[in-house]
Amino acid sequence: EDKVVQSPLSLVVHEGDTVTLNCSYEVTNFRSLLWYKQEKKAPTFLFMLTSSGIEKKSGRLSSILDKKELFSILNITATQTGDSAVYLCAVEPGGSEKLVFGKGTKLTVNP
Amino acid sequence: ETGVTQSPTHLIKTRGQQVTLRCSSQSGHNTVSWYQQALGQGPQFIFQYYREEENGRGNFPPRFSGLQFPNYSSELNVNALELDDSALYLCASTQSGGALTGELFFGEGSRLTVL
């Protein structure tokens, strides 16, 4: 059965800190891994990774995928209170019509 | 905002009742998926609709059913509500023609509480 495990489940940091969120997975016929940010209700797309070792960056956020070790990390540097959210990791099995999500990491950034 | 709209945003039902949730997909998107997100959990795939037919289903009982209309909008129906059905129901659309190709565009969700 396809599975995504995220760690930690929750994290509290101060503004300016750097955080690393982890995502490990087991999936048949991997196609891609996606990160979403969920602040209140609608998850919003951050990154999609398909190739190992390639870093995707957007401002202070970056992510990398290791297809050999079956994990991904999401880094956030110089955190701000607006980064407080649940960060969801999901994998897309090849030939499937669904995403398989982890439970998420709840990040709280205090001023 | 993604352009995916859901209604209602909140509703309260009692055990045994039936509920219908609605979703309008983003313009140009022909595929709609529904996910259930219980408190403290990640979204779980319920089913996907493409060309007005169910195109894949997760591990949910038959009392969860859906429809897709010619304009690509969709409904999720849940019969015989149970307490465990309390969750945020997310609709997502994509222009993937039934095959998932990555990014899903989510609506704001419908928060269902079953008492």
Mean pLDDT of B48-58: 90
CB contact under 8 A, B100 and A88: no
Question: Residue A41: helix, strand or coil by DSSP?
Answer: coil
Tell which of B30, B37, B105 to mutate to test the A interface (max A CBs under 10 Å). B37
Q: What is the pLDDT of residue B99?
A: 54
Q: What is the pLDDT of residue A40?
A: 82
Lowest mean pLDDT among A93-97, B12-16, B18-22: A93-97
pLDDT at B1 exceeding the cut of 70: no
Between chain A and chain B, the number of residue pairs with CB atoms below 8 A apart is 65
Question: Residue A51: helix, strand or coil by DSSP?
Answer: coil
CB contact under 8 A, B109 and A96: no
Task: Rank A49-63, B24-38, B50-64, B74-88 by mean pLDDT and report only the highest.
Answer: B74-88
Mean pLDDT of A33-60: 90
Angle in degrees, CA B54, B67, B16, rounded to 5: 110
Tell which of B59, B100, B101 to mutate to test the A interface (max A CBs under 10 Å). B100
Query: How near does any CA of chain B get to the CA of A79, in Å?
Result: 23
Q: How far is CA A89 from CA A64, A74, A107, B40, B70, in A?
A: 12, 9, 13, 14, 32
CB contact under 8 A, A102 and B100: no
Q: What is the pLDDT of residue B100?
A: 55
